[in-house]
């Protein structure tokens, strides 16, 4: 058994080495394809308190970028309304980054926001592995995780991927704990907060957490074979699931400032915005896109009806 103080020291060293490796790339890497978009929307959200440039994606990771960018001097460009491209987030992002001559400083600030998420994700990898396989395995997992090229690459860019990975992993960890321990209102509230945060980083979390949670529940049932037919237990599960769903919705609504309006128009949603699933096999790709279009349009219709009151 490794002593706790040495565990903290080793885990901190692992995280520090990863952070240094990421930071050394800031001056060597040109702006990524989506970085100007994230910078523009982040500054718009904090400086103008609006979210019109790219409302399709959730605001949490943009808010995390926007606050330090604002305090570093980044402001939404004050240009005439008829300026070409002012509705294009790439054009706006380029104005924010380049106009005042402090391009590198603002880009570094936006990218450095990813480091706390990388540290938290590394800690979560360690904690979940330690719980299942022990402290040594946890440290090895953390070390291997922080050497993955994909992890280091996305941690060095001002994208929403690392915040989303952190929130999704934390949500899966919370779901696992919630299923394995006796139901408690504290655990249900924590689950709701973490799942809500995952939804506010990327909407793909809805798919990942649904299938991940369903898989965990199936494995739990196959391993324990506990009967769930008892009325008391079923009622208890239903109450906790109901409260968790309602609290998660409130967290997501809070992330949007409790705003109301027509969902499809406000978020500029159409069939063309639906993911193409180009990485899926051919038949699966067509089926997934058809199902996504059908259910998304139905969900947006009912959401519009609910918020508009008719």
Percent of the chain at pLDDT above 70?
77
Lowest-pLDDT range of 35-39, 84-88, 172-176: 84-88
| Residue 139: per-residue pLDDT | 94
pLDDT: which is higher, 72 or 13: 13
The residues near 86 (Cβ < 8 Å, ≥ 6 apart) are 77, 79, 92
pLDDT: which is higher, 305 or 273: 273
| Residue 159: per-residue pLDDT | 92
The two tokens of residue 137 are 């395995």
The two tokens of residue 270 are 């159409």
Q: Mean pLDDT across the chain, nearest whole number?
A: 81
CB 252 within 8 A of CB 200: yes
DSSP letters for 139-201: HHHHHHHTT-HHHHHHHTSS-SHHHHHHHHHHHHHHHHHHHHSPP-HHHHHHHHHHHHHHHTT
Number of other residues whose CB lies within 10 A of the CB of residue 63: 17
CB 189 within 8 A of CB 245: no
| Residue 264: per-residue pLDDT | 55
| Residue 157: per-residue pLDDT | 92
CA-closest candidate to residue 178, choices 133, 243, 227: 243
What average pLDDT does the segment 253-272 reach?
A: 66
| Residue 243: per-residue pLDDT | 84
Residue range 237-257, pLDDT digits in tens: 778 788 888 888 888 888 887
Phi (first) and psi of residue 202, to 5 degrees: -155, 135
pLDDT: which is higher, 148 or 291: 148
Query: 277's torsion region: left (phi>0), alpha (psi -120 to 50) or beta?
Result: left
| Residue 218: per-residue pLDDT | 85
| Residue 169: per-residue pLDDT | 95
| Residue 305: per-residue pLDDT | 46
pLDDT level of residue 267 (50, 70, 90 thresholds)? low
Asked if the model's pLDDT at residue 304 lies above 90, the reply is no
CB 243 within 8 A of CB 188: yes
Q: What's 242-280 look like in SS3?
A: HHHHHHHHHHHHHHCCCCCCCHHHHCCCCHHHCCCCCCC
Phi (first) and psi of residue 204, to 5 degrees: -65, -15
Asked if the model's pLDDT at residue 106 lies above 70, the reply is yes
Residue range 133-188, pLDDT digits in tens: 999 999 999 999 999 999 999 999 999 899 999 999 999 999 888 887 766 778 88
CA angle, 284 then 33 then 124, to 5°: 70
Distance CA(292)–CA(304), nearest Å, equals 18
69-82 in b/e burial notation, b at 16+ Cβ within 10 A?
bbeeebebbeeeee
Residue range 193-235, pLDDT digits in tens: 999 999 999 888 888 888 888 888 888 778 776 544 444 466 6
CA-closest candidate to residue 204, choices 142, 233, 173, 161: 161
* pTM confidence score: 0.80
């Amino acid at each position: 058994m490794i002593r706790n103080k040495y565990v903290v020291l080793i885990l901190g060293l692992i995280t520090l080495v990863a952070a240094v490796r990421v930071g050394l790339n800031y001056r060597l890497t040109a702006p990524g394809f989506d970085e100007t978009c994230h910078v523009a929307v982040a500054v718009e959200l904090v400086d103008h308190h609006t979210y019109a440039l790219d409302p399709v994606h959730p605001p949490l990771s943009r808010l995390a970028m926007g606050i330090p960018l604002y305090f570093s001097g980044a402001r939404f460009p004050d240009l005439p309304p008829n300026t070409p491209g002012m509705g294009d987030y790439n054009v706006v992002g380029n104005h924010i980054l380049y106009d005042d001559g402090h391009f590198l400083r603002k880009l570094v600030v936006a990218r450095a926001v990813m480091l706390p998420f990388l540290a938290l994700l590394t800690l979560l990898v360690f904690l979940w592995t330690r719980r299942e396989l022990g402290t040594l395995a946890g440290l090895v997992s953390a070390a291997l995780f922080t050497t993955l090229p994909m992890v280091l690459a996305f941690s060095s860019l001002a994208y929403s991927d690392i915040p989303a990975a952190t929130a999704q992993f934390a949500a899966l960890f919370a779901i696992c704990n919630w299923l394995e321990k006796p139901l408690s209102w504290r655990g249900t509230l924590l689950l709701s907060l973490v799942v809500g945060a995952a939804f506010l980083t990327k909407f793909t979390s809805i798919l990942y957490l649904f299938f991940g949670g369903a898989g965990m529940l199936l494995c739990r049932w196959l391993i324990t074979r506990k009967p769930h037919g008892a009325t008391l237990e079923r009622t208890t599960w239903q109450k906790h699931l109901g409260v968790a769903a309602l609290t998660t919705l409130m967290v997501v609504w809070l992330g949007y400032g409790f705003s109301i309006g027509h969902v499809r128009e406000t978020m500029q949603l159409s069939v063309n915005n639906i993911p193409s699933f180009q990485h899926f096999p051919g038949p699966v790709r067509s089926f997934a896109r058809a199902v996504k279009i059908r259910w998304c349009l139905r969900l947006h219709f009912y959401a519009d009806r609910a918020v508009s009151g008719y």
